[in-house]
A and B are shown apart, each in its own frame.
Chain A
Amino acid sequence: MMSHTLPTLPYAYDALEPYFDARTMEIHHTKHHQTYVDKLNAALKGHEALQDKSAEALLKDLNAIPETIRTAVRNHGGGHANHAFWWPMLKKDIAFSGPVADAISKRFGSYEKFRETFSSTAALLFGSGWTWLVLDQGKLEIVATPNQDNPVSQGKTPVLGIDVWEHAYYLKYQNRRPDYIGAFFNVVNWDRVNDMYSAAK
Chain B
Amino acid sequence: MDREINQGMINRRQFLWTALAGSVAVAADISVFPQVSKASPPSALPPLPYAQNALEPYISAETMSYHYGKHHAAYVNNLNTLIKGTEFENESLEYIIMNASGGIFNNAAQTWNHAFYWNSLKPKGGGAPAGVLAEAIRSDFGSVDEFKKSFSQKAATLFGSGWVWLVKDKNRKLTIESTGNAGNPLTAGLMPLLTCDVWEHAYYIDYRNARAKYIEAYWNLVDWDFASINLAA
Give me 27 A-to-B residue pairs in the complex whose CB atoms sit less than 8 angstroms apart, sorted by A's number: A27-B208, A75-B159, A126-B106, A126-B181, A126-B182, A127-B180, A127-B181, A127-B199, A128-B160, A128-B161, A128-B200, A146-B160, A147-B159, A147-B160, A148-B160, A166-B161, A166-B199, A166-B204, A167-B208, A167-B209, A170-B204, A171-B205, A174-B66, A174-B201, A175-B71, A175-B74, A175-B201
| Chain A to chain B: the 10 pairs with minimum beta-carbon distance, closest first | A166-B200, A127-B181, A147-B160, A127-B161, A128-B160, A175-B70, A31-B209, A170-B204, A128-B161, A75-B159
Mask of A146-168 contacts with B, CB within 8 angstroms, 1/0:
11100000000000000001110
Cα–Cα, bound, A147→B180 (Å):
10
> Chain B's nearest CB lies how many Å from the CB of A80?
14
A31 proximity list for chain B (CB < 8 A) = 208-209
Residue of B nearest to A34 (CB): B209
A174 proximity list for chain B (CB < 8 A) = 66, 70, 201, 205
Partner of B201, one of A35, A75, A129, A170: A170
> Chain A's nearest CB lies how many Å from the CB of B231?
29
A115 proximity list for chain B (CB < 8 A) = none
> Chain B's nearest CB lies how many Å from the CB of A53?
21
Mask of B204-216 contacts with A, CB within 8 angstroms, 1/0:
1100110000000
B205 proximity list for chain A (CB < 8 A) = 170-171, 174
A192 proximity list for chain B (CB < 8 A) = none
A166 proximity list for chain B (CB < 8 A) = 161, 199-201, 204
Report B52-83 residues with CB < 8 Å from chain A CB.
66, 70-71, 74
- In the complex, whether A32 has a CB less than 8 A from a CB of chain B is yes
Residue of A nearest to B102 (CB): A126
Contact A175 B66 (CB under 8 A): yes
B180 proximity list for chain A (CB < 8 A) = 127
Given the contacts A75-B159, A127-B161, A146-B160, A167 and B200 also touching, CB distance less than 8 Å: yes
> Chain B's nearest CB lies how many Å from the CB of A71?
8
A170 proximity list for chain B (CB < 8 A) = 200-201, 204-205
> Chain A's nearest CB lies how many Å from the CB of B129?
31
Cα–Cα, bound, A166→B200 (Å):
6
Residue of B nearest to A167 (CB): B200
A167 proximity list for chain B (CB < 8 A) = 200, 204, 208-209
> Chain B's nearest CB lies how many Å from the CB of A128?
4
A32 proximity list for chain B (CB < 8 A) = 209
Q: Which of B71, B103, B161, B201 has the largest number of chain A CB atoms within 10 A?
A: B161
B70 proximity list for chain A (CB < 8 A) = 174-175
Residue of A nearest to B71 (CB): A175
Contact B200 A35 (CB under 8 A): no
A127 proximity list for chain B (CB < 8 A) = 160-162, 180-182, 199
Further contacts, 9 of them, CB under 8 A, given A75-B159, A146-B160: A127-B160, A127-B162, A127-B180, A128-B161, A129-B160, A147-B159, A167-B204, A170-B205, A175-B201
B181 proximity list for chain A (CB < 8 A) = 126-127
Cα–Cα, bound, A162→B33 (Å):
37
Cα–Cα, bound, A174→B63 (Å):
10
